[in-house]
Structure 1
């Protein structure tokens, strides 16, 4: 009867352990799935960012090509403007020279007109007598003919000279007008090129502004990408630790620093690194980077959370049945006295507070107030 009761009791205890283990593993699976879903979302965001970056790169290249094209067009326009301005300068000089020639021709024509008019005026005043005197003064018939021919030639010469000078003046005026027309056409070309240059400059300013915005947008995407990559690494590490915790089979308690297993100082007597005296090391020291999270070895109630002498910032958890765990030298505490915590729940962050020579976790297990070797309860993983 007694053995039967003991057997039933053992069966009940095993059932409770199995149920607890199932609960722990179910929670672990749920946490892993949650983190994997979070990681998937991060990766999807990273893919979207990569697409956006590719699109921005394409836009940046298109804008750059347009800017280069406009700059080439501006250079070509400036070259054309230089040529046109040179031609305008030549035309201006040509027009000025032509105007001087025209002035000179006009003066000569007026002088010739004056000479002819004076001669005609004298002849008019002398009347036909003067003309007849020239003819009657002839000594012979042949001399008469000669004198008549001479008078006719003088008249024809004056007439032809005036006509020629008028013709030359008209040619000079025509040349001046032609040069002026060419200058106007060139000026129109200058105005056209200047207008195009202004339009291109306006387009260039807009493109440069767009280019600056694209660079800012690209930098913002890169910053988002960096942050997401950091998040992805953190979530990946958490998943790794959760999987390690799920597969953990050693010890009655969980390892408080998953992924960090190097014990720098074991349980037992040693020479204290600060006092240099032989003293019982009441726990184990685990090497862990500064700021890394530390997890509860077993479910329980927080009975202490604060500064604890040489332990620095410390946490103590009462697991019931006379068992208490202590976590020392923390940089930050994540729990408060009276708070209920579950096995594997983050309770603090690693530090080097108190009597410490560097970042590490001092982990203790106390059984009914006595220090026991933690490795009887936990297995590194």
Structure 2
């Protein structure tokens, strides 16, 4: 679309303003300026879309990496939660063990308290009385053994109580350590979750903004193309008016020649084509007519012609006789030649290394008009051949 619009602008200026006295001057400079300005804005919007698309791809890659980190953190969190459940179960079991130990300790403590109270109330004479009250030596020995056992039992009970106290204190300390570890694990898990969630949310905002900006740029491109279509329609109207004026001038000149009896037909400086187009050069078609992925920008755009692969310096021939209405630099096309063949038919030859004709020059079919190159938006030497009918690009294959 962009290329056909450039051709239209060039045709409008060259045909309407370059026809000399044969055509009434129509102000096309303003339309050309509008076309150039709109094309520049379209290029900018496309470039902006490409930039935002790159941002989208970069951020999407980051989000993919963040998601992998989030998955790993989730797995770690599940592991921590499993540890938390295990520790909680241990804590609950420890509480049960402590409760049992405390109950047992209270029971043994009551026994010891009673024994101590009895010793306190009766003093050591109780033991002497037990020993001295024996009736015989055998009774004395039995009583002494019994007394030893009682004393030993008292002593063992004291040791057991002390051991139970130490065990309870150790259980309490372990419980506190487990609780502290549990709190630390929970805090770490929560911190990890918040950090990754914040990072993901931040990148998601960037992604959403990039998508919105790309969509805005795309909408701008559509709006600009709509405006460009309006300018293009106006250019076509002026082209039609210029063609009508040219034909009227030819008829007037023909009538004048017939009236003068010369019959030779004077040259009005504008060559009409035969209507049959020939190939501008020989080579393979490297890019057909229609929508394609641009080899430089990587975006899907409309290709208004065909690309013929040739070497640098290959002669480029006029597809038909006609008048050169533009020979110079066109944005994107590089060095280009536009030939008007009359009847609303024109051809364009782009990306040339050098040009062999100038504006206003009449050319014959097969005449060398340029030499192939790779100027403008091009990845290598080739001839971009374009056919336009009434200002709209058509498939050249239908005319070759």
* TM-score under structure 1 length normalisation: 0.51
Q: How far does residue 125 in structure 1 lie from its aligned partner after superposition?
A: 2.1
- Point out the more displaced range, 234-243 or 151-160: 234-243
- Find 1:53's aligned residue among 35, 49, 66: 49
Q: 1:66 to 1:49 in 2, by over 3 A?
A: same
Q: 1:143 to 1:133 in 2, by over 3 A?
A: same
Q: Is the 8 A contact 1:116 1:158 kept in 2?
A: yes
Q: Is the 8 A contact 2:101 2:164 kept in 1?
A: yes
Q: 1:43 to 1:205 in 2, by over 3 A?
A: closer
- Point out the more displaced range, 158-167 or 38-47: 38-47
* Alpha-carbon distance in structure 2 between the residues aligned to 1:209 and 1:245: 54
* Alpha-carbon distance in structure 2 between the residues aligned to 1:113 and 1:76: 54
Q: Which residue of 2 aligns with 1:108?
A: 104
Could you tell me which runs of 5 or more consecutive residues in structure 2 were left unpaired when the two chains were aligned. 1-18, 254-400
- Find 1:125's aligned residue among 118, 121, 146: 121
Q: How far does residue 116 in structure 1 lie from its aligned partner after superposition?
A: 0.9
Q: How far does residue 102 in structure 1 lie from its aligned partner after superposition?
A: 0.4
List aligned pairs for 1:33-44, cutoff 5 A. Answer: 35-44=31-40
Q: Is the 8 A contact 2:112 2:157 kept in 1?
A: yes
* Cα shift readout 1:281-329 (whole Å, capped 9, x = no counterpart): xxxxxxxxxxxxxxxxxxxxxxxxxxxxxxxxxxxxxxxxxxxxxxxxx
Q: Which residue of 2 aligns with 1:180?
A: 179
Q: Which residue of 1 aligns with 2:190?
A: 191
Task: Between the two structures, name the one with larger relative contact order (CA 8 Å, sep ≥ 6).
Answer: 2
Q: How far does residue 105 in structure 1 lie from its aligned partner after superposition?
A: 0.4
* TM-score under structure 2 length normalisation: 0.49
Q: 1:165 to 1:34 in 2, by over 3 A?
A: closer
Q: 1:217 to 1:70 in 2, by over 3 A?
A: farther
Q: How far does residue 97 in structure 1 lie from its aligned partner after superposition?
A: 1.2
CA RMSD of the aligned region, Å? 3.5
Q: Is the 8 A contact 1:81 1:190 kept in 2?
A: yes
Q: Is the 8 A contact 1:98 1:176 kept in 2?
A: yes
Q: 1:40 to 1:246 in 2, by over 3 A?
A: farther
List aligned pairs for 1:208-247, cutoff 5 A. Answer: 209-227=208-226, 230-231=229-230, 233-234=232-233, 237-238=236-237, 240-241=239-240, 244=243, 247=246
Q: Which residue of 2 aligns with 1:16?
A: none
* Alpha-carbon distance in structure 1 between the residues aligned to 2:219 and 2:101: 77
Q: Which residue of 1 aligns with 2:166?
A: 167
Other structure's SS at 1:250 match: helix
Q: Is the 8 A contact 2:23 2:245 kept in 1?
A: yes
* Alpha-carbon distance in structure 2 between the residues aligned to 1:34 and 1:126: 129
Count of residue correspondences: 233
Could you tell me which runs of 5 or more consecutive residues in structure 1 were left unpaired when the two chains were aligned. 1-20, 254-381
Q: Is the 8 A contact 1:39 1:235 kept in 2?
A: no
Q: Which residue of 2 aligns with 1:252?
A: 252
Q: 1:245 to 1:63 in 2, by over 3 A?
A: farther
- Point out the more displaced range, 47-56 or 194-203: 194-203
Other structure's SS at 1:27 match: coil
Q: Is the 8 A contact 1:32 1:242 kept in 2?
A: no
Q: 1:128 to 1:37 in 2, by over 3 A?
A: closer
* Alpha-carbon distance in structure 2 between the residues aligned to 1:232 and 1:43: 11
Q: 1:22 to 1:185 in 2, by over 3 A?
A: closer
Q: Which residue of 1 aligns with 2:297?
A: none
* Alpha-carbon distance in structure 2 between the residues aligned to 1:217 and 1:68: 25
Q: How far does residue 54 in structure 1 lie from its aligned partner after superposition?
A: 1.6
Other structure's SS at 2:176 match: helix
* Alpha-carbon distance in structure 2 between the residues aligned to 1:46 and 1:92: 65
* Alpha-carbon distance in structure 2 between the residues aligned to 1:100 and 1:90: 15
* Cα shift readout 1:185-233 (whole Å, capped 9, x = no counterpart): 1221233134325524642553354145224313323313532552464
* Alpha-carbon distance in structure 1 between the residues aligned to 2:174 and 2:23: 106
Q: How far does residue 176 in structure 1 lie from its aligned partner after superposition?
A: 1.2
Q: How far does residue 238 in structure 1 lie from its aligned partner after superposition?
A: 4.9
Q: How far does residue 112 in structure 1 lie from its aligned partner after superposition?
A: 0.8
Q: Is the 8 A contact 1:46 1:225 kept in 2?
A: yes
List aligned pairs for 1:1-381, cutoff 5 A. Answer: 22-25=20-23, 27=25, 31=27, 35-137=31-133, 139=137, 146-147=145-146, 149-196=148-195, 199-200=198-199, 202-203=201-202, 206-207=205-206, 209-227=208-226, 230-231=229-230, 233-234=232-233, 237-238=236-237, 240-241=239-240, 244=243, 247-248=246-247, 249-252=249-252
For the pair shown, the structure with the greater C-alpha radius of gyration is: 1
Q: Is the 8 A contact 1:60 1:214 kept in 2?
A: no
Q: How far does residue 134 in structure 1 lie from its aligned partner after superposition?
A: 2.6
